[in-house]
Amino acid sequence: MSTKTAKEEAGAAPAEGALALDLYREVTRIRALELLLNRYVKEHGFGGFWHPGLGQEAVQAGAVMALRHEDYLFYAHRGLGYALVKGMAPEALLGDLFGRVGGSVGGKGGGTVHFVDPELGVLGQGGTLGSNFVLGAGAATSIQLLGEDRVVAVFFGDGAAARGTFHEAALQASVWKLPIVWICENNGWHLSAPFSAQSPTEDIAERASAYGMPGVVVDGQDAIAVREATLAAVERARAGEGPSLVEAKTLRIRGHYEGDPQKYRDDIADGLEVPRDPLKILRERVPEAEADALDAAAAAEADAALEAVLAMPKGGAEVVTQGVWS
């Protein structure tokens, strides 16, 4: 179930109903993990920081479903959806969050998101905000030098967009026409700073013109719209025409991390209600019985993954030197 959409030949133009159903499946799978982690962290606490992506699932699912299996992905720190939709198993992702040996980094992770799966093109993320830009540009340079048919998707938040590394990487990527899609998940908050306190313009996409690349704003609650905008950018990159910037406007429903008291904010009630819920928007395009069945399957998948992960041993001292080059 997990690999089909990311492995789908993007651009093959699936029928509208089939596409909506595929997107619904991925959005509800991400949502099920979000709700599960929300419950778990509240009940048991968490040895680290869980940065919830509740309500932002349409950006992650829509954009990743515009990629092919062989394309590369550098994800942002909010949620598990990017890697899940690219094909990683929920056990591998939760295993990393909980520091278990069955996680994709074999028990070296724990407390935050550091999944990798080179075979699926999931190349990770940089722990310092903004390092994704240069890592992505580096991966895209390798693609160009090796003459490969791949595209790199680099996700980042509105806060990360302020890092100087964005300028360096965006400039060089455009000059060299690197196969990159820059995907900004603008959820309106950079930790406790509202977007209006960090940007002189309403849209980050406007910055694209300085680098001679297209910049588009898309409704981040509408998975179909996100996929369409990302697909156009991916096709452009694949054709050798260089990078594009896609800015998906979304909303951070929960705290910066689960447990954040959010004293700095009064724009939204503390809860699990998602305004302009991407699931509800997609539900208008899919048969109710099928949507219900996908919801049930997603909840069962998430529960089974957590159960399996909690039964796994934690990584001990022996894992520290595993997978180390020298």
Ligand X SMILES: Cc1ncc(C[n+]2csc(CCOP(=O)(O)OP(=O)(O)O)c2C)c(N)n1
Report how far residue 312's alpha carbon sits from residue 54's, in angstroms, rounded to the nearest whole number.
26
Q: How far is CA 220 from CA 157, 194, 209, in A?
A: 12, 18, 21
Question: Which of 104, 187, 221, 230 is close enough to bind ligand X by CB under 6 A?
Answer: 187
What does the per-residue mask of binding to ligand X show for 57-86, with x meaning CB under 6 A? -------------------xxx--------
Closer CB to ligand X, residue 74 or residue 189? 189
Buried b (16+ CB within 10 A) or exposed e, 124-157: bbbeebbbbbbbbbebbbebeeeeeebbbbbbbb
The residues near 2 (Cβ < 8 Å, ≥ 6 apart) are: 29, 84, 87, 88, 89, 90
Question: By Cβ distance, which residue is nearest to ligand X?
Answer: 157
The residues near 20 (Cβ < 8 Å, ≥ 6 apart) are: 224, 282, 285, 286
DSSP three-state, residue 31: helix
Closer CB to ligand X, residue 185 or residue 219? 185
Report helix, strand and coil shares of the chain as percent, to nearest 5: 45, 10, 45
| Closest-CA residue to 27 (of 276, 232, 304) | 276
Binding status of residue 207 toward ligand X by CB under 6 A: no
Report how far residue 289's alpha carbon sits from residue 76's, in angstroms, rounded to the nearest whole number.
33
Minimum CB separation of residue 207 from ligand X in Å reads 15
Minimum CB separation of residue 92 from ligand X in Å reads 22
Minimum CB separation of residue 199 from ligand X in Å reads 11
Question: Which of 189, 204, 220, 227 is close enough to bind ligand X by CB under 6 A?
Answer: 189
Binding status of residue 159 toward ligand X by CB under 6 A: yes
Question: Which of 85, 135, 151, 160 is close enough to bind ligand X by CB under 6 A?
Answer: 160
Stretch that binds ligand X, among 14-22, 102-110, 152-160, 292-300 (CB under 6 A): 152-160
Beta bridge partners of 248: 185, 218
Closer CB to ligand X, residue 28 or residue 187? 187
Site for ligand X in 12-31 (CB under 6 A): none
Q: Six-digit token pair at 255?
A: 């705290």
Minimum CB separation of residue 171 from ligand X in Å reads 20
160 residue type, one letter? A
Stretch that binds ligand X, among 88-96, 172-180, 182-190, 308-316 (CB under 6 A): 182-190
Question: Which of 158, 247, 277, 301 is close enough to bind ligand X by CB under 6 A?
Answer: 158
Q: How far is CA 236 from CA 58, 214, 242, in A?
A: 22, 10, 7
Closer CB to ligand X, residue 137 or residue 184? 184
Question: Which of 100, 190, 227, 283 is close enough to bind ligand X by CB under 6 A?
Answer: 190
Site for ligand X in 227-256 (CB under 6 A): 252, 256
Question: Which of 109, 124, 157, 278 is close enough to bind ligand X by CB under 6 A?
Answer: 157
Closer CB to ligand X, residue 100 or residue 256? 256
Minimum CB separation of residue 301 from ligand X in Å reads 24
Binding status of residue 129 toward ligand X by CB under 6 A: yes
Minimum CB separation of residue 252 from ligand X in Å reads 6
CA 35 to chain centre: 16
3 state SS for 143-202: HHHHCCCCCEEEEEECCHHHCHHHHHHHHHHHHCCCCEEEEEEECCEECCEEHHHCCCCC
What residues make contact with ligand X under the rule CB under 6 A? Answer: 76-78, 128-130, 157-160, 187, 189-191, 252, 256
